[in-house]
């Protein structure tokens, strides 16, 4: 059966960083809804134009649009063995929709690791984050610097600072997370598939804890 995992956690918790590690280790596709939106933005598609304002303000893109985009991605043949979802679902309505679409593939969410990091640390992480233009690899100027400033270690593409990583927008994104996404902790916890991971440790130690949780599931 296909294996689907959902990485949950506030903006800056380390979801993207860890998703790359886990996806590579298990040969799973990494689906980041934020990356999908940014790709659409770059190509100025209708979807990108629609999402732009919400993203700049640090608000959620409406559920119907987001769900349709992820459904389209999950339906592709490369997801037959499963996928690691990063940044989706972000609302209970999205979580319900995910469960319905996975049922269509005779599958379900296997485990939801919650990467837990206190708010104070999130602001420092996001204000020093550098993102790769080509494939969304992430670095941090202090905590995980690239070998060469401004260049991605993995694919040599340019690194840039996201517009929505500015302090004012970050604060709004954290508020939006608390109000609209944090209810998913109870949602998945009541379904007995949530596992809490201490996200304040080093990147390597968080990976170890995550891999151990997946092995145990
Ligand atoms: P981060 O990883 O830093 O939390 P993302 O890259 O996941 O941020 O998301 C960037 C922006 O894209 C969000 O602030 C939101 O506007 C939009 N977005 C991403 N995923 C979703 C989603 N599942 N539902 C609604 N909006 C989303
Ligand atoms: P998310 O996808 O949850 O928004 P990212 O994976 O993009 O988070 O990480 C946010 C920032 O924090 C990046 O600059 C990343 O390099 C850095 N980071 C990720 N994990 C850690 C960690 N365990 N300790 C310190 N910094 C981290």
Q: What percentage of the chain carries pLDDT values higher than 70?
A: 100
pLDDT digits (tens, 9 = 90+) for 39-93: 999 999 999 999 999 999 999 999 999 999 999 999 999 999 999 999 999 999 9
What is the structure's pLDDT at 1?
Answer: 77
Number of the ligand closest to the Cα of 162: 1
Confidence (pTM): 0.96
Q: Give me ligand 2 centre to Cα 188, in Å.
A: 23
- Gyration radius (Cα) of the chain, Å: 16
What is the structure's pLDDT at 192?
Answer: 98
Q: Which strand (E) or helix (H) includes residue 166?
A: none
Measured distance CA(37)–CA(47) in Å, rounded: 8
Contacts of 86 (CB under 8 A, 6+ apart): 7, 15, 16, 19, 30, 31, 32, 33, 34
pLDDT range class, residue 10, cuts 50, 70, 90: very high
Contacts of 130 (CB under 8 A, 6+ apart): 138, 139, 140, 141, 146, 150, 159, 160, 161
pLDDT digits (tens, 9 = 90+) for 146-192: 999 999 999 999 999 999 999 899 999 999 999 999 999 999 999 99
∠ CA 66-71-76, nearest 5°, is 135
Summary mean pLDDT of the chain: 96
Q: Give me ligand 2 centre to Cα 14, in Å.
A: 4
Average pLDDT estimate for 3-11: 97
Atom 5 in ligand 2: residue holding the nearest Cα: 14
- Would you call the peptide bond into 89 cis, given omega within 30 degrees of 0 as the criterion? yes
Q: Give me ligand 1 centre to Cα 60, in Å.
A: 7
- Domains of the chain and CATH, by start: 3-118+183-216 (3.40.50.300)
- For residue 117, pLDDT beyond 90: yes
Catalytic residue list: 15, 90, 129, 162, 173
Contacts of 102 (CB under 8 A, 6+ apart): 4, 74, 108, 109
């Amino acid at each position: 059966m296909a294996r689907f995992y959902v990485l949950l956690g506030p903006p800056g918790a380390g979801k993207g960083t860890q998703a790359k590690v886990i996806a590579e280790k298990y040969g799973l596709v990494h689906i980041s809804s934020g990356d999908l939106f940014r790709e659409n933005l770059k190509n100025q598609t209708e979807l990108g134009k629609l999402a732009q304002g919400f993203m700049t303000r640090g608000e959620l893109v409406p559920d119907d649009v987001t769900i349709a985009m992820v459904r389209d991605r999950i339906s592709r043949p490369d997801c037959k063995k499963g996928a690691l979802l990063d940044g989706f679902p972000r609302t209970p309505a999205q979580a319900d929709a995910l469960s319905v679409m996975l049922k269509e593939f005779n599958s379900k969410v296997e485990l939801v690791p919650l990467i837990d990091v206190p708010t104070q640390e999130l602001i420092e992480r996001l204000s020093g984050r550098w993102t790769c233009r080509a494939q969304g690899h992430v670095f941090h100027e202090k905590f995980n610097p690239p070998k060469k400033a401004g260049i991605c270690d993995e694919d040599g593409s340019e690194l840039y600072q996201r517009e929505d990583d500015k302090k004012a927008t970050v604060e709004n994104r954290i508020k939006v997370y608390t109000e609209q996404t944090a209810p998913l902790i109870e949602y998945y916890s009541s379904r007995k598939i949530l596992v809490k991971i201490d996200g304040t440790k080093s990147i390597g130690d968080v990976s170890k804890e995550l891999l151990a949780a997946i092995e145990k599931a």
